[in-house]
Amino acid sequence: MIYPIIGLGHPTLRKIAQPIDKDYPELDKLIADMYETMYAADGVGLAAPQIDLNIRVVVIGFRPYDEATDTYGPESEEHTFINPEILEFVGEKEYFNEGCLSVPGIHEDVLRTEGVRVRWYDEKWQLHEEELHGMLARVAQHEIDHLEGKVFTDRLSALRKTMIKRKISDVVAGRFRTSYRMKMNKK
Ligand code: ZN
């Protein structure tokens, strides 16, 4: 099932998401639906708050890029994070151009560390504690921000925020088009 994605301005995107336990109802179905929703919208990551669920579940999926051959792998590499926690930011900070399914039409360079050490449960409730790097570290940081009620535009400089103020208010007002279904905040 494909969920509608909520947009900037919806209050759920600003809440701290709650951890879940193994008794969470139909978790396998929810995770499968989150992947389906993410791929249908051409995203590389989706956090449960983006489908209006205030819980700490994230899915990530993208075809790995091979710098040596300048090609993308045939299969999407998938990672499910349940109750993820960032333990440490690792390496140098660098800029990378980010977008977000909840903030359509806006792409901005965001400064984050290259690596990050994360502890999480996977969909089989196996505990992981790993240092992530590259694209996975980037997407994980973006998605875990969603669980803290943050979106990537919060991380821009004051100047940059001022420059895109108009675009942000267009998103909040629902003045945009997407190829996927969105649910906006009802005033
Ligand atoms: Zn996002």
DSSP code string of 12-64? GGGSPPBP--TT-TTHHHHHHHHHHHHHHTT-SEEEGGGGT--B-EEEEEEPP
Residue by residue, pLDDT tens for the chain (187 residues) are 999 999 999 999 999 999 999 999 999 999 999 999 999 999 999 999 999 999 999 999 998 888 888 888 888 899 999 999 999 999 999 999 999 999 999 999 999 999 999 999 999 999 999 999 999 999 999 999 999 999 999 999 999 999 999 999 999 999 999 999 999 876 5
Q: pTM value?
A: 0.95
Distance 92 CA to ligand 1 centre (A): 22
pLDDT value for 186: 66
Count other C-beta atoms under 10 Å from residue 42's C-beta.
10
21 CA from centroid of ligand 1 (Å): 24
Closest Cα to residue 80, out of 130, 18, 137, 35?
35
Model pLDDT, residue 187:
55
pLDDT value at position 178?
95
Ligand 1 center to 49 CA (angstroms): 10
CA 140 / ligand 1 centre spacing (Å): 10
Catalytic entry in 78, 98, 143, 148? 143
**Residue 143 a catalytic site member:** yes
